């Protein structure tokens, strides 16, 4: 059988002429970090599914790549061997185009394989070059628009225009050529365009003032009139410190507003450890934050709506500081200082709730708390 085949071969010289012997070999090919989506700039190697030196065939999963959006399995396009892994699994932020492995053909001998030299920055250079070239391109020079764009009433038509169909018809009906029209008719359209009205005025069918009026009206209304807008003056008090400063040119930021400070003194009839007090305050704070500020059983109020319009739940409304000062005998005083962030709508309300809560807690524990009346007036 073999003889038969080889004899057929001699009869078919084409096959030998076109086909090489397998004497030449290709070295290992570089496998670069693939861009698995058009927006991917960097990616991570989650895991290699093929080990070093292991064979794979086309369609097999080589590795799993983590992109900006998802984890994607990268398939082999062709049969081959994973000759060498350059980037181990778990590496993140590998730029697209960076070599991550060497691949070879299945029958290549890995021990004698030639590895191409890696040009670390090659891919980056190629990418950055065209950008620089783009910068060099001169910005398009602004055309002298003034000459053409103004719709002066006393001007003749722009000779480069294509006549409007209505104008062309009208000229034709009255036996006028395009040249005539351009030489004689006053154009009131944009960019020196001859309008139907212009031809009618030229023919004496309407008064020319009408056209001028219309074109002026359009001219006035075609852009937003900002001339009447006055810029609000900044307050004198805010400006004065900045003007006296060393750098008058740089506008200083308006002085930071002091947060609202609420102080309250509560007497403790019982001795509390610091931790216990802290716990008590934390519970009070939790209550204050989670309390619903609207009537729950009302028909007009929709809780869902209230939730949506309320400031974020976890936004910090106030900061709490407390000092315990031992006064007479066994009675000590708890001094609470709240710094309220007024930029949050319900901060003040919740701070008040917090103080009430603390008071309640202490009352429950003690059966009585007195607070200094002057400070209570603050609220």
Site for another protein, rule CB under 8 A = 1, 4-5, 8-9, 11-12, 14-16, 18-22, 24, 26, 32, 34-38, 57-61, 72-73, 77-78, 96-97, 105, 123, 137, 143, 160-162, 191
Integer Cα distance of 199 and 208 in angstroms:
10
In whole angstroms, how close is the CB of 29 to another protein at the nearest point?
9
In whole angstroms, how close is the CB of 32 to another protein at the nearest point?
6
Which residue's CB is nearer to another protein, number 77 or number 282?
77
Contact 151, 215 (CB under 8 A): yes
Which residue's CB is nearer to another protein, number 158 or number 186?
158
Integer Cα distance of 180 and 264 in angstroms:
93
Which residue's CB is nearer to another protein, number 21 or number 139?
21
Integer Cα distance of 357 and 339 in angstroms:
17
In whole angstroms, how close is the CB of 22 to another protein at the nearest point?
5
Please calculate the CA angle 156-158-162 and round it to the nearest 5 degrees: 130
In whole angstroms, how close is the CB of 131 to another protein at the nearest point?
14
In whole angstroms, how close is the CB of 71 to another protein at the nearest point?
11
Contact 334, 372 (CB under 8 A): no
Dihedral over alpha carbons 354, 360, 362, 365 (to 10 degrees): -140
Which residue's CB is nearer to another protein, number 62 or number 288?
62
Could you tell me the maximum CA-CA distance found in the chain, to the nearest angstrom? 122
Contact 34, 65 (CB under 8 A): yes
Which residue's CB is nearer to another protein, number 44 or number 97?
97
In whole angstroms, how close is the CB of 20 to another protein at the nearest point?
5
Which residue's CB is nearer to another protein, number 53 or number 58?
58
In whole angstroms, how close is the CB of 105 to another protein at the nearest point?
8
Closest to 285 measured CA to CA, from 345, 342, 347: 347
How far CA 213 is from CA of 149, 192, 206, 219, in Å, comes to: 17, 16, 13, 10
CA neighbours closer than 13 Å in the CB half-sphere of residue 108: 25
In whole angstroms, how close is the CB of 92 to another protein at the nearest point?
19
3-state secondary structure of 210: helix
Integer Cα distance of 329 and 351 in angstroms:
31
Which residue's CB is nearer to another protein, number 160 or number 274?
160
In whole angstroms, how close is the CB of 80 to another protein at the nearest point?
11
Contact 167, 196 (CB under 8 A): yes
Integer Cα distance of 153 and 218 in angstroms:
12
DSSP H helical ranges for 174-260: 178-184, 196-202, 208-221, 236-244
Q: What is the token pair recorded at 292?
A: 């619903």
Which residue's CB is nearer to another protein, number 42 or number 287?
42
Q: What is the token pair recorded at 76?
A: 């082999």
Integer Cα distance of 25 and 16 in angstroms:
19
In whole angstroms, how close is the CB of 93 to another protein at the nearest point?
17
Which residue's CB is nearer to another protein, number 12 or number 379?
12
Which residue's CB is nearer to another protein, number 140 or number 367?
140
Residues near 99 by beta carbon (within 8 Å), at least 6 away in sequence: 30, 31, 32, 33, 86, 118
């Amino acid at each position: 059988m073999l003889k038969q085949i080889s004899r057929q071969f001699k009869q078919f010289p084409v096959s030998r002429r076109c086909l090489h012997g397998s004497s030449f070999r290709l070295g290992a090919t570089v496998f670069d970090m693939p861009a698995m989506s058009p927006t991917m700039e960097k990616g991570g190697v989650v895991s290699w599914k093929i080990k070093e030196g292991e064979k794979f065939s086309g369609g097999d999963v080589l590795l799993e790549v983590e992109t900006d959006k998802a984890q994607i399995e990268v398939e082999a396009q062709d049969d081959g061997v994973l000759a060498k892994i350059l980037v181990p699994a778990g590496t993140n932020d590998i730029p697209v185009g960076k070599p991550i492995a060497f691949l070879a053909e299945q029958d290549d001998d890995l021990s004698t394989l030639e590895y191409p030299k890696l040009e670390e920055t090659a891919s980056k250079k190629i990418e950055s070059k065209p950008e620089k070239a783009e910068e060099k391109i001169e910005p398009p020079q602004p055309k002298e628009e003034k000459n053409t764009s103004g719709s002066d009433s006393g001007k003749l038509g722009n000779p480069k225009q294509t006549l409007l169909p209505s104008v062309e018809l009208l000229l034709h009906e009255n036996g006028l050529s395009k040249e005539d029209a351009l030489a004689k008719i006053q154009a009131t359209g944009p960019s020196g365009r001859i309008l139907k009205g212009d031809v009618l005025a030229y023919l004496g069918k309407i008064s020319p003032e009408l056209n001028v009026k219309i074109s002026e009206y359009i001219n006035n209304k075609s852009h937003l009139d900002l001339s009447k807008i006055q810029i609000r003056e900044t307050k004198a008090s805010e400006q004065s410190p900045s003007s006296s400063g060393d750098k008058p040119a740089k506008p200083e930021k308006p002085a930071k507003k002091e947060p609202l400070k609420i102080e309250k003194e509560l007497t403790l009839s019982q001795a509390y450890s610091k931790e216990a007090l802290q716990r008590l305050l934390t519970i009070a704070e939790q209550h204050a934050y989670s309390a619903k500020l609207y009537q729950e059983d009302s028909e007009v109020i929709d809780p869902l709506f209230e939730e949506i319009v309320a400031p974020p739940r976890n936004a910090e409304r106030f900061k709490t500081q407390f000092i315990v000062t031992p006064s007479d005998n066994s009675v000590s005083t708890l001094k609470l200082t709240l710094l309220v962030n007024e930029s949050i709508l319900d901060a003040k309300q919740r701070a008040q709730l917090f103080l009430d809560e603390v008071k309640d807690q202490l009352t429950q524990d003690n059966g009585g708390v007195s607070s200094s009346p002057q400070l209570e007036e603050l609220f």
